[in-house]
Amino acid sequence: MPEVSEATDLDRAKWRNELIRIGDEGGFFREIGGEHTALHVRAGGTLVVTFENLDHVFEHSGNRLPWGFEFVRSHGWSILGLMAHDWTWYRDPAVHNFFDTLRDEGFFKQFSRVIFYGASMGGYAAAAFSAAAPGATVITISPQATLDKTIVPWETRYSKAWHRDFSGRYGFAPDSLRSAEKVYLLFDPLAELDANHAALFEGENINTLHCRMMGHRIASAMQGMDILKPVIESAIDGSLTAADFYGALRRRRTYARYLKEMLARLDKRGNPWLMSLYCQHYLATRRGPMFRKHLNAANEELVRQGRKIPGSV
């Protein structure tokens, strides 16, 4: 066990030194309080501010850069990547002061376009801290409006962060979005808790994009369908329309996670005719023991009920 801990500490030290080197070359690297870090690299006139969870970073590797670093740089955009060491929801006075300082020093005014991006905890942060850059575009996926239990008593997730103070500066994310120019809010309306949070985001600048049966982890699903990058690109340049988005989302029809979610929902509905029809459609183009099992069960139930199996003569 000591060897594993020492190796992890060494990896983190190397990771920190690499971010310092990158920041020194064209921007800055900051350790914000004891739980957060920020890396800024200046390039073009578009700034993309991203938020992620550092626990996830270290689960994958000890030298990963902020979310979308290579993607943002490949477009010639500037990046400010915020990372958290824990499930903090970025509710730390040091982070609040960091954004206050950037705002007061005119940091965001150096750029012709500013975009805040994040998903889940990062989605909350992207919405909340966008208030530091009025006129920004915000891309927020499955965000929470707040974790203040007096406002969202129905929120049963994320108990690790319930003790955090969600009052004061940058606290209630929907309020922060009032100063944004355009907001893209992606969520699954069938995911009850996410839909409850989404209902708290109101305003003419908010463009709601429904991702039915994609659950909470919409960003990873879109990445799996190879549509996350083009959607984000369009949102950043301001050209994304609802028609474009839903057109891209048609890819879910061949995405395994989506198809399995549909199967689960049909199973709960208890309609053997629909289940048989759906499984036949799926198995016509691909293998799937789970779908075959449900097809056989549905057909047996239809025979038992004396009903016709879809497609049979």
SS3 240: coil
- Based on the fold, state whether residues 268 and 223 are members of the same structural domain: no
Q: Is 253 exposed, middle or buried (0-12, 13-18, 19+ CB in 10 A)?
A: exposed
Please give the pLDDT value at position 65.
Answer: 73
Report the predicted TM-score, pTM, of the whole model to 2 decimal places.
0.89
Same domain, 227 and 286: no
> How many distinct structural domains can be found in the chain?
2
Interval 241-261: pLDDT, tens? 999 999 999 999 889 889 999
Do 85 and 40 share a structural domain?
yes
| 227 and 93 housed in the same domain | yes
* Residue numbers of the domain that contains 247: 2-252
One domain for residues 10 and 132: yes
Do 221 and 272 fall into the same domain? no
Residue 309 lies in a domain: no
Question: For residue 1, what pLDDT is reported?
Answer: 36
pLDDT per position as a tens digit, 10-21: 677 777 787 777
Q: What tens digit of pLDDT does each residue of 140-191 get?
A: 999 999 999 999 999 999 999 999 999 999 999 999 999 999 999 999 999 9
Q: Are residues 288 and 199 in the same domain?
A: no
In this prediction, residue 57 has a pLDDT band, given cuts at 50, 70 and 90, of very low
Tell me, yes or no, whether 118 and 215 share the same domain. yes
- Is residue 202 domain-resident? yes
3-state SS string for 59-86: HHCCCCCCCCHHHHHHCCCEEEEEEECC
- Compute the mean pLDDT over every residue in the chain, rounded to the nearest whole number: 90
Dihedral over alpha carbons 181, 112, 116, 189 (to 10 degrees) = 40
Asked if the structure places residue 284 within a domain, the reply is yes
Nearest C-alpha neighbor of 266 from the set 247, 290, 233:
290
Are 223 and 298 part of one and the same domain?
A: no
